[in-house]
A and B are shown apart, each in its own frame.
Chain A
Amino acid sequence: MSIAWYLVVSALIFCIGAGGVLVRRNPLVILLCLELMLNAANLALIAFARMHGNNDGQIFALIVMVVAACEVTVGLGLIVAIFRRRLPIDVDELRELQG
Chain B
Amino acid sequence: MSTIVFFVAAIGAIAGAIGVVALRNPFYSVLALVGHLLSLAALFLLLRAEFVAAAQVVVYAGAVMVLYLFVVSYIGGGATQLTPGGAPLRAVAGGAVLALFAELAIAVLGSGLKAIDSDGAPYVPGFGTPAQIGEALLTKFLFPFEVASLLLLVAAVGAVVLARRRAGTTLGDEPEDATRWITPRSLFTGTMAEAVGGPHRAQTEPEPVEELRS
Binding site for B on A (CB under 8 A): 1-9, 11-20, 22-26, 28-29, 31-33, 35-36, 39, 42-43, 46-47, 49-56, 58-59, 61-63, 65-74, 76-81, 83-86, 88-90
CB pair A2 B104 closer than 8 Å: no
Query: What A residues does B48 contact at CB under 8 A?
Result: 50
- Provided the pairs A4-B116, A15-B104, A23-B85 are in contact, do residues A55 and B97 lie with their beta carbons within 8 angstroms? no
Q: Which of B17-25, B178-186, B205-213 contacts A (4 or more CB under 8 A)?
A: B17-25
Query: What B residues does A61 contact at CB under 8 A?
Result: 49, 52
14 other A-B residue contacts (CB within 8 Å) besides A26-B26, A65-B60, A69-B59: A19-B21, A19-B94, A23-B85, A32-B26, A32-B30, A42-B52, A43-B43, A55-B136, A59-B136, A65-B55, A68-B60, A69-B152, A72-B64, A89-B80
CB pair A76 B68 closer than 8 Å: yes
Which chain B residue lies CB-closest to A14?
Answer: B104
B87 to chain A, nearest CB (A): 11
B153 to chain A, nearest CB (A): 10
Q: Determine the distance from Cα of A68 to Cα of B149 in the docked complex, in whole angstroms.
A: 13
Picked from A3, A6, A70, A83, the residue with its CB within 8 Å of the CB of B75 is A83
B residues 131-158 in Cβ contact with A at 8 Å: 132-133, 136-137, 140-141, 144, 148, 151-152, 154-156, 158
Binding site for A on B (CB under 8 A): 2-3, 6, 10, 13-14, 17-18, 20-21, 26, 29-30, 33, 36-37, 40, 43-44, 46-49, 51-52, 55-56, 59-60, 63-64, 67-68, 71-72, 74-75, 77, 80, 82-83, 85, 89-90, 92-94, 96-98, 100-101, 104-105, 108-109, 113, 115-124, 127-128, 132-133, 136-137, 140-141, 144, 148, 151-152, 154-156, 158-163, 165, 169-171
Which chain A residue lies CB-closest to B6?
Answer: A1
Query: What A residues does B60 contact at CB under 8 A?
Result: 65, 68
- Provided the pairs A39-B37, A46-B44, A77-B159 are in contact, do residues A19 and B93 lie with their beta carbons within 8 angstroms? yes
CB pair B116 A7 closer than 8 Å: yes
* Interface majority SS (helix, strand, loop, mixed), chain B: helix
- Provided the pairs A4-B109, A49-B47, A63-B148 are in contact, do residues A58 and B100 lie with their beta carbons within 8 angstroms? no
* Interface majority SS (helix, strand, loop, mixed), chain A: helix
Q: Determine the distance from Cα of A52 to Cα of B12 in the docked complex, in whole angstroms.
A: 26
Which chain B residue lies CB-closest to A67?
Answer: B151
